[in-house]
């Protein structure tokens, strides 16, 4: 198994041997960008805050996965960050969506709605023509 899949199993290592979980890992990895855009779309957040929001979900991950994703999103001009002073230590980076990121999130939201509609339609039994 590649390293990119392992990060999704960090919290529950016994899942690494579960064939279903192994098949779902690439799907979760592919959706993580969408999930992070949704989280950051609500407000400016510090990485530990993002990780906390993900912690008890299907998308629980670690800094080693999140920082490279945020860097990729920044290079694509979908997120930006600002430094804020901290009362408990050094300044912190807070991430938020750019205008392009808001547009990308809207596109992904629309696509997700269409996918759900398609899957719901495919699951219905078709009537046989008379």
Q: For residue range 32-41, what is the model confidence (pLDDT) as tens digits?
A: 999 999 999 9
For the ranges 18-22, 27-31, 46-50, 79-83, which has the lowest average pLDDT? 18-22
Q: Tokens 């509609």 correspond to what residue?
A: 117
The dotted CATH code for 3-116 is 1.10.10.10
Residue 23's pLDDT is what? 87
Q: What is the mean pLDDT of the chain?
A: 86
28 by DSSP, 3-state: which? helix
pTM for the model stands at 0.79
Q: State mean pLDDT over 119-123.
A: 88
C-beta of residue 77 within 8 angstroms of C-beta of residue 98 = yes
Q: CA-CA distance, 41 to 34, in Å (whole number)?
A: 10
Q: For residue range 91-113, what is the model confidence (pLDDT) as tens digits?
A: 999 999 999 999 999 999 999 99
* Better-predicted residue by pLDDT, 32 or 8: 32
Ranges of each domain in the chain: 3-116
DSSP collapsed to 3 states, 30-73: HHHHHHHHHHHHHCCEEHHHHHHHHHCCCCCCCHHHHHHHHHHH
């Amino acid at each position: 198994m590649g390293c990119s899949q392992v990060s999704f199993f960090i919290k529950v290592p016994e899942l690494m041997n579960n064939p279903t979980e192994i098949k779902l890992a690439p799907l979760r990895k592919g959706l993580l960008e969408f999930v992070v855009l949704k989280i950051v779309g609500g407000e400016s957040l510090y990485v530990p805050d993002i990780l906390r929001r993900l912690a008890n979900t299907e998308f629980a991950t670690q800094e080693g996965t999140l920082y490279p994703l945020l860097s990729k999103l920044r290079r694509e001009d979908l997120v930006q960050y600002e430094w804020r002073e901290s009362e408990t230590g050094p300044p912190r980076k807070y991430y938020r969506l750019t205008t392009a990121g808001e547009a990308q999130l809207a596109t992904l939201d629309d696509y997700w709605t269409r996918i759900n509609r398609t899957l719901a339609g495919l699951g219905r039994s078709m009537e046989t023509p008379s």
